[in-house]
Amino acid sequence: MDFKFKKSLGQNFLIDKNILEKIAASACIEQNSLVIEVGPGSGNLTKYLSVAATNVLCYEIDTRLEEILSEELYEYHNVKIIFDDFLKRDIKSDIAEFSYDNLYLVANLPYYITTPIIEKVIDSDLPFKRITIMIQKEVGERLMAHPKTREYGSITVYLNYYFDIKNEFIVSRNAFIPKPNVDSIVISLIRKDEKLYLKDKNVFNRLLKDSFKFKRKTIRNNLKNYDLNLVSEVLEHNGYNLSTRAEELPLEVFVELANNIK
Ligand code: SAM
């Protein structure tokens, strides 16, 4: 393939067929499905998704890939590609033309925008049944972290509210061209059927960002602009206090805090 990879677009293409197959299998795609793929690149993974899914909708920012993709996916009739920045799209209106019972997102993500993509997908409120993504290994470890570990952060708590996170498998940097400087991991986010009651998502999101703002600081310091009496009450009731650090608090406590602060 005569193609100049752009590092700035996270263009590391996966060339190991076994791994591509394993990613598609990890997605557990069921009948009557729509699969969204962010960044098809040259269509390596898309082909496997096309076979497993009823329809595949891809977003690719790099229009230089148009010709390669139309050649590579010539025989894959259930694939539609939108050449645009995924972060700028209104996913809901893009998928309005499809009918489906099961919605998925499967992607070897461009790593420079991993968090914005995940946040966009969750904030879209679309009923993704399962999200199977390849991301940088260190980021994956953060998303799967437990309280009281260095990796545990606001994004961990945020994701855990919505999903159970499954570690699928690690992928060596040697499986890509060009070879990146980091190893990767494939994880699946599996929608939780029973979520904790949350009064206001925006309050929850803001609380998480503020609580983890300075990781070494206590809740008293990070939440000094909140009503500390209310915060303290919830913390004490759960066996913590204002000197606790955010990284020690489990999801349930953040949810209770969000439901009780103004
Ligand atoms: N799916 C291919 C594979 O597995 O070999 C390529 C994956 S590569 C890691 C990431 C892809 O995302 C690239 O094709 C890149 O051009 C595309 N991309 C980068 N930023 C994007 C954005 N904002 N919206 C849509 N696609 C983007």
Distance (Å, rounded) from C-alpha 168 to C-alpha 166?
6
Query: Letter for the amino acid at 54?
Result: T
- For the domain spanning 7-191, the CATH number is 3.40.50.150
Please say if the pLDDT value at position 245 is more than 80. Answer: yes
Calculate how far, in angstroms, residue 60's C-alpha sits from the geometric centre of ligand 1. Answer: 6
Please say if the pLDDT value at position 1 is more than 70. Answer: no
Distance (Å, rounded) from C-alpha 231 to C-alpha 129?
34
Can you give the three-state secondary structure of the chain, one letter per residue?
A: CCCCCCHHHCCCEECCHHHHHHHHHHCCCCCCEEEEEECCCCCHHHHHHHHHCCEEEEECCCHHHHHHHHHHCCCCCCEEEECCCHHHCCHHHHCCCCCCCEEEEEEECCHHHHHHHHHHHHHCCCCEEEEEEEEEHHHHHHHCCCCCCCCCCHHHHHHHHHEEEEEEEEECHHHEECCCCCCEEEEEEEECCCCCCCCCHHHHHHHHHHHCCCCCCEHHHHCCCCCHHHHHHHHHHCCCCCCCEHHHCCHHHHHHHHHHCC
Domain map (residue ranges) of the chain: 7-191, 201-260
Calculate how far, in angstroms, residue 190's C-alpha sits from the geometric centre of ligand 1. Answer: 23
Mean pLDDT across the stretch 204-208? 96
Query: Letter for the amino acid at 117?
Result: I
Residue nearest to atom 14 of ligand 1 (CA): 41
Under CATH, which architecture does the 201-260 domain have? Orthogonal Bundle (1.10)
Please say if the pLDDT value at position 206 is more than 70. Answer: yes
Kindly indicate the confidence band of residue 124, based on its pLDDT and cuts at 50, 70 and 90. very high
Residue nearest to atom 11 of ligand 1 (CA): 39
pLDDT digits (tens, 9 = 90+) for 76-122: 999 999 999 999 999 999 999 999 999 999 999 999 999 999 999 99
Calculate how far, in angstroms, residue 70's C-alpha sits from the geometric centre of ligand 1. Answer: 16
Helix axes 154-162, 251-260, angle to 10 degrees: 90
Calculate how far, in angstroms, residue 220's C-alpha sits from the geometric centre of ligand 1. Answer: 41
Contact residues of ligand 1, CB 6 A cut-off: 9-14, 38-41, 44-45, 59-62, 85-87, 108, 110, 113
Interior/surface letters 179-207, b for 16+ CB within 10 angstroms, e for the rest: ebeeebbbbbbbeeeeeeeeeeeebbbeb
pLDDT value at residue 2: 75
Q: Which atom of ligand 1 is nearest to the CA of 117?
A: 23
pLDDT digits (tens, 9 = 90+) for 51-60: 999 999 999 9
- What distance lies between CA 9 and its chain's CA centroid? 17
Calculate how far, in angstroms, residue 202's C-alpha sits from the geometric centre of ligand 1. Answer: 29
Distance (Å, rounded) from C-alpha 167 to C-alpha 154?
19
Residue nearest to atom 12 of ligand 1 (CA): 39
Distance (Å, rounded) from C-alpha 128 to C-alpha 228?
37
Mean pLDDT across the stretch 239-262? 96
Mean pLDDT score of the chain, rounded to an integer? Answer: 96
- Of 166, 30, 26, 31, the closest CA to residue 108 belongs to 26
pLDDT above 90 covers what percent of the chain?
97
Q: Which atom of ligand 1 is nearest to the CA of 41?
A: 14
Pocket test for ligand 1, best of 38, 56, 79 (most atoms within 8 A of CB): 38
pLDDT digits (tens, 9 = 90+) for 36-74: 999 999 999 999 999 999 999 999 999 999 999 999 999
Residue nearest to atom 21 of ligand 1 (CA): 61
